[in-house]
Chain A
Amino acid sequence: MAVSGLLHRRPGLRVGLLLTPPMLWLGVAYLGALAALFVTAFWGQNSFTGDVERTWTLDNFRNLFTIDVYRTITVRTLGIAVLVTLLDALIAFPVALFMAKVASPRAQRLLLVAVVMPLWASYLVKAYAWRGMLGTGGLVSWVAAPFGLDTPGYGLTAVIITLAYLWLPYMILPIFAGLERLPGSLLEASADLGARSTTTLRRVVLPVVFPAIVAGSLFTFSLTLGDYIAVRIVGGANQMLGNVVYDNVGAANNLPFAAAVATIPVVVMVIYLTAVRRTGALENL
């Protein structure tokens, strides 16, 4: 009784107690881990035994900027992330539009389930399924054969296809939510004023849904930026930033350098989020 009375009389204490666990999580577990990452990036490594040497050095960042291969890999990773995001936006928009504005309530529910369903299966199962489909004699080459085409095989194209498939639901759902909020009366008004459907799409739907697309792109872009599994499975001999991190942690055991590499996606995402904040997309998440 005394405790609840105290909490009633002291709203500040109430809020404080309520916020402590999430703040601890954010401060210690999340930001603390990030801080540890940055600190590690300034340490060295004994290249023979693989032990971390806790002496301050800028060598990791120097290597990162002076050795060409890391620039190549960064550019490649960014390119893949942009392409995956564009591809997902292109596929997701019509699907979401149909779900939000055309389908009956019953069909809408079924479609929602259908969109979310792939998320029930394991990432690895889906990636290996694409490995099977894209391989020699796989489903893709079988479908493409009548058109005189062939499977792209394992490589960057396969990576983009696989990642676009994996992250598609994360693009469809925000766009769908954005379109749901678009009042039908706006579309009718546009039609009444004599706009064709393409004009309505361009001048009414797209401006309203744009922040939602950006919100979706946050998922597809950041998830692609950090991915290293799909490229190992279907990427042939190519590598992305995640692979460099993985190889330096799991193989070379060079934690400091891995930490330095890992700051690249963090920096990219900070820049991206700053840019995105201006579009109001963050309110759509």
Chain B
Amino acid sequence: MKKITAIASAVVLAAGLAACGTTSGGGGGGGGGTSAGAGTFTAPDVPMKKSLGAMEGQVNILAWPGYAEDGSNDKSVDWVTPFEKKTGCQANVKYFGTSDEALTLMKTGQYDVVSASGDASLRLIASGDAAPVNTALLKSYPDIQPFLKDRAWNSVNGQMYGVPQGWGANLLMWRKDKVKPAPTGWDAVFEKNPPYAGKITAYDSPIYIADAALHLMNTQPDLGIKNPYALDQKQLDAAVAVLKQQRPQISEYWSDYLKEQQAFTSGDTLIGTTWQFIANLVEADKVPVGVLFPSKGSTGWSDTWMVSSKSKNSNCAYAWMDYIAGPSANAQSAEYFGEAPANAKACDLTTDKSFCATYHAADKAYADKIWYWTTPIKQCLDGRKDATCTDYGQWTQAWTEIKG
């Protein structure tokens, strides 16, 4: 428990800064915390790698689908093979569907490196499953966008626990031929009697509660939600009520991107949460879909490659992080996945020259409009001292109850 309290106080400090920044910004979202700053967070004492050694010959990678393509899905999409040729490290890639799944898999100690989103990274650090990363050993690190470094979800006391991969927003997708007029914001999936009842989809994870909280932030200011990841019991109940009311309108929840792709293609789902990457796949199937970043803000992710504290192939793991954060591989993976690359030089190497402009890759102001996934904890992330917030365990419980 001591650990959690310590983390919490660090995050509270960080979020306090963020809250100051966002209260003046009005209802348009605001990043989920700035630098972890000088807090009292004492992460478990996990040794950091001091120097690089000989390659072990293999590396076990745990990745979001699309982050480590080796050409087995599509011959032309392959940046793992060049890495293997360059370093002599055989890359064994395992995909995960949700952050929670990644966390469980990391606990097995069988993986060397993981692409963790903000709702998982702090938990990985707190449980001692992730090791601090010696960024001095990484050639690509200086080119990473400065606004992605030392953030609340990837560093502790200025010590980085990984290398940023990329970031993006959770988007609203709809079938252009069936949904008219086009939706303008998240109201379309949360309103009481939506015209597309029974054809709505939502992301299947407790973290989706933050989407409802963000909706409440914009529609019911009197609830006093300042950060969708910092909900006290009353605010969580309100968000749960929104989701329970939405539940009968849901065709199905998705966490498997293939399921969402198929449901939109067949028309079983007409509107709901998506990632740009899935929208690209659906569009490639010639299905007419529209995608929107709602102007009132959205949740999103900022992913970080982290090294396991139990890694047996740490040299290959560092080589992988250096490689995937390098301009060429970062450009390819980010473009394939549909997110803003973390490496500033990647923007010159994308096949679509306007890619980085489309994804606002260097646009700090836009990046700050996204509420990045962050693990909810007991101490309120928005800096409130007089309230107790709900933690991820309670969110998980609530999520089961919402689904019924």
Contacts and interface: CB of A to CB of B under 8 A. Distances in A.
Interface string B80-117: 00000000000000000010110110010000000000
B4 A50 contact: no
Interface string A26-44: 0000000000000000000
B107 A50 contact: yes
Interface stretch (A9-17, A98-106, A189-197, A247-255): A247-255
Interface string A213-251: 000000000000000000001011111000010010111
B393 A49 contact: no
Interface in B40-61: none
Contacts of B4: 46, 48-49
B138 to A, nearest CB: 27
B268 A48 contact: no
A139 B231 CA distance: 46
A253 B198 CA distance: 30
Q: How large is the interface on B (under 10, 10 to 19, 20 to 34, 35 or more residues)?
A: 35 or more
B393 A138 contact: no
Given A47-B392, A251-B205, A237 B268 contact: no
B127 A47 contact: no
Contacts of A239: 400, 403-404
Contact of B401 (A45, A69, A249): A69
A237 B201 CA distance: 9
A87 to B, nearest CB: 23
A237 B375 CA distance: 24
A40 to B, nearest CB: 15
Given A49-B127, A72-B404, A253 B375 contact: no
Contact of A47 (B252, B393, B403): B393
A250 B100 contact: yes
B7 to A, nearest CB: 8
Contacts of B397: 63, 67
B100 A154 contact: no
B126 interface: yes
Contact of A250 (B104, B127, B206, B247): B104
Contacts of A69: 400-401, 404
A254 B267 contact: no
Contacts of A48: 4, 123, 126, 375, 377, 391-393
Contacts of B126: 48-49
B24 interface: no
Interface string A96-139: 00000000000000000000000000000000000100011110
Nearest to B7: A48
Contacts of A233: 259
A236 B104 contact: no
A153 interface: yes
A59 to B, nearest CB: 11
Contacts of B266: 135-138
A130 B146 CA distance: 49
Nearest to A235: B252
Contacts of B250: 236-237
A188 interface: no
Interface string B242-259: 000001001111000001
A237 B396 contact: no
Nearest to B376: A48
B159 interface: no
A247 B98 CA distance: 11
Nearest to A49: B127
Nearest to B255: A251
Contacts of A63: 397
B146 to A, nearest CB: 29
Given A48-B391, A154-B268, 14 more contacts: A48-B123, A48-B126, A48-B393, A50-B104, A67-B401, A131-B262, A135-B262, A237-B247, A237-B253, A237-B403, A249-B104, A251-B98, A251-B206, A252-B206
The 4 closest A-B pairs by CB, nearest first: A47-B393, A49-B127, A251-B100, A252-B396
Interface of B: 3-4, 98, 100-101, 103-104, 107, 123, 126-127, 198, 205-206, 247, 250-253, 259, 262-263, 266-268, 375, 377, 391-394, 396-397, 400-401, 403-404
